[in-house]
């Protein structure tokens, strides 16, 4: 049976690699000769042990993690991490620095404030409607940690270089650019990423935590909100989101074995972004919203002359098998999310459509 598939530019849940979907399809009735669906096997079985341990091993290889980094799979998405981070690492009398680059970073600030934690917004790009990433930030050398959002899906900005925080651990929400490029993990005390944008389906959050930070976790936290609960049980204190973890494992396998690692993935992502931004910059019909030195490789945001025209653009694009191009509801406009699984030919098809739409409406 033939299946029609469109080019998927959704911001999350987002595109998954076709070979991953095909492997999932094959495992839905019989996983690995078990006689059970992958959705039916026990999280206490050898089959799932192999899945989660392989996902951990591939994460460590892809990101060149040292032995002192633990890889966890948690529920609650990245949004739960907004409160877990200060609950685990920000004790009374301490201060943490946060960099405000948009909606998700401010949600993290507000969650810490609800907990009556002492947080300081060390820098913000709110003055220019979050169209850039701040530079030369005066971090507090005594801060417990510095929190950033590596890529901002709504405004289409991304840290091109991560800030130097000295000896202060860097904590990052990498939900929308996880595994999109290689980087030095050493300065990071913790990295978290909701999977549904770039490494898997909705339902699981990957957390990478440096072991030295675990010593500061209070003992009186609820079990499900303490990182030590999950490090002690290999993410299986309770039933984990097994199917989501399985899908992440397959995406990591695709990244490692088909793509060839993060350096090669980054080159593909750069080519996709360069092609799309080059066209946008050459046109007076479309207007990119992010400043050039802060543009995201993952989420390309742009506006047209008016909301009615933008609505027609999104509708006609979908009619031409180009889906998910509507901007976030909080800002409007248009957005093409070109995550790892979005192929280069999808970007080329989008550009071809944009040229035709401009010729017809410009």
Q: What is the mean pLDDT of residues 83-99?
A: 96
Element housing 251 (H / E)? helix 242-253
- Domain 31-259 bears CATH identifier 3.40.640.10: yes
Q: Which two three-digit tokens encode residue 188?
A: 């990071």
258: which residues sit within 8 A by CB, 6+ positions away? 17, 19
> pLDDT digits over 215-232, tens only?
999 999 999 999 999 999
The yes-or-no verdict on residue 32 having pLDDT over 90 is yes
64: which residues sit within 8 A by CB, 6+ positions away? 182, 185
Helix 344-361 vs helix 262-282: angle between axes, to the nearest 10 degrees? 10
Q: What is the dihedral of CA 197, 201, 203, 205, to 10 degrees?
A: -50
Top-level class of domain 261-361: alpha beta
135 is catalytic: no
Helix, strand or coil, per DSSP, at residue 191? strand
Query: Exactly one of 97, 100, 173, 177 is catalytic; which is it?
Result: 173
104 is catalytic: yes
Q: What is the mean pLDDT of residues 143-169?
A: 98
The b-or-e profile of 118-154 (16+ CB within 10 A means b, else e) is bbeebbbbeeeebbbbbeebebeeebbbbbbbbbbbb
The confidence band for 1, taking pLDDT boundaries of 50, 70 and 90, is: low
Burial classification of residue 251, based on how many CB atoms lie within 10 Å of its CB (0-12 exposed, 13-18 middle, 19 or more buried)? buried
Q: What is the mean pLDDT of residues 80-96?
A: 96
Query: Exactly one of 47, 97, 100, 104 is catalytic; which is it?
Result: 104
> For residue 197, what pLDDT is reported?
97
Query: Exactly one of 100, 117, 155, 197 is catalytic; which is it?
Result: 197
Residue matched to tokens 């929308």: 176
Burial classification of residue 307, based on how many CB atoms lie within 10 Å of its CB (0-12 exposed, 13-18 middle, 19 or more buried)? exposed
197 is catalytic: yes
Percentage of the chain beyond pLDDT 70 is 100
Alpha helices in 36-137 (DSSP H): 46-63, 77-89, 103-114
> For residue 116, what pLDDT is reported?
97
Give the C-alpha separation, 277 to 298, whole Å. Answer: 12
Integer CA distances (angstroms), 355 to 45, 108, 118, 246, 358, in order: 53, 39, 50, 40, 5
| Sequence ranges of the domains in the chain | 31-259, 261-361
> For residue 362, what pLDDT is reported?
86
Helix, strand or coil, per DSSP, at residue 233? coil
Give the C-alpha separation, 37 to 30, whole Å. Answer: 5
> pLDDT digits over 108-146, tens only?
999 999 999 999 999 999 999 999 999 999 999 999 999
User: CB–CB of 340/297 below 8 Å?
Assistant: no
Give the C-alpha separation, 353 to 347, whole Å. Answer: 10
Give the C-alpha separation, 207 to 70, whole Å. Answer: 8
Burial classification of residue 166, based on how many CB atoms lie within 10 Å of its CB (0-12 exposed, 13-18 middle, 19 or more buried)? exposed
> pLDDT digits over 298-357, tens only?
999 999 999 999 999 999 999 999 999 999 999 999 999 999 999 999 999 999 999 999
């Amino acid at each position: 049976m033939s299946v029609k598939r469109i080019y998927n530019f959704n911001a999350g849940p987002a595109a998954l690699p076709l070979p991953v979907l095909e492997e999932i399809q094959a495992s839905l009735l019989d996983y690995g000769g078990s006689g059970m669906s992958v959705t039916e096997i026990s999280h206490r079985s050898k089959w799932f042990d192999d899945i989660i341990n392989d996902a951990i091993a591939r994460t460590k290889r892809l990101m060149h993690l040292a032995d002192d980094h633990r890889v966890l799979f948690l529920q609650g998405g990245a949004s739960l991490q907004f409160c877990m981070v200060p609950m685990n690492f920000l004790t009374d009398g301490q201060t943490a620095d946060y960099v405000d680059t948009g909606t998700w970073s401010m949600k993290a600030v507000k969650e810490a404030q609800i907990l009556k934690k002492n947080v300081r917004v060390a820098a913000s790009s709110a003055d220019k409607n979050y169209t850039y990433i701040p530079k030369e930030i005066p971090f507090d050398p005594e801060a417990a940690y510095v929190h950033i959002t590596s890529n901002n899906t709504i405004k289409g900005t991304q840290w091109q270089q991560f800030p130097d925080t000295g000896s202060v651990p860097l904590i990052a929400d990498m939900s929308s650019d996880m595994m999109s490029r290689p980087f030095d993990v050493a300065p990071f005390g913790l990295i978290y990423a909701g999977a549904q944008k770039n490494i898997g389906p909705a339902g699981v959050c990957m957390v990478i935590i440096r072991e030295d930070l675990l010593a500061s976790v209070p003992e009186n936290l609820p079990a499900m909100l303490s990182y030590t609960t999950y490090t002690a049980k290999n993410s299986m204190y309770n039933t984990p989101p097994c199917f989501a973890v399985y899908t992440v494992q397959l995406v990591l396998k695709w990244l490692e074995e088909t793509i060839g690692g993060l350096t090669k993935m980054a080159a593909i992502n750069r080519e996709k972004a360069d092609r799309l931004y080059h066209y946008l910059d050459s046109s007076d019909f479309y207007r990119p919203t992010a400043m050039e030195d802060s543009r995201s490789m993952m989420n390309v945001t742009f506006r047209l002359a008016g909301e009615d025209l933008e609505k027609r653009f999104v509708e006609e694009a979908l009619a031409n098998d180009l889906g998910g191009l509507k901007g976030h509801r909080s800002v409007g406009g248009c957005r093409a999310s070109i995550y790892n699984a979005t192929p280069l030919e999808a970007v080329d098809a989008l550009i071809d459509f944009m040229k035709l739409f401009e010729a017809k409406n410009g």
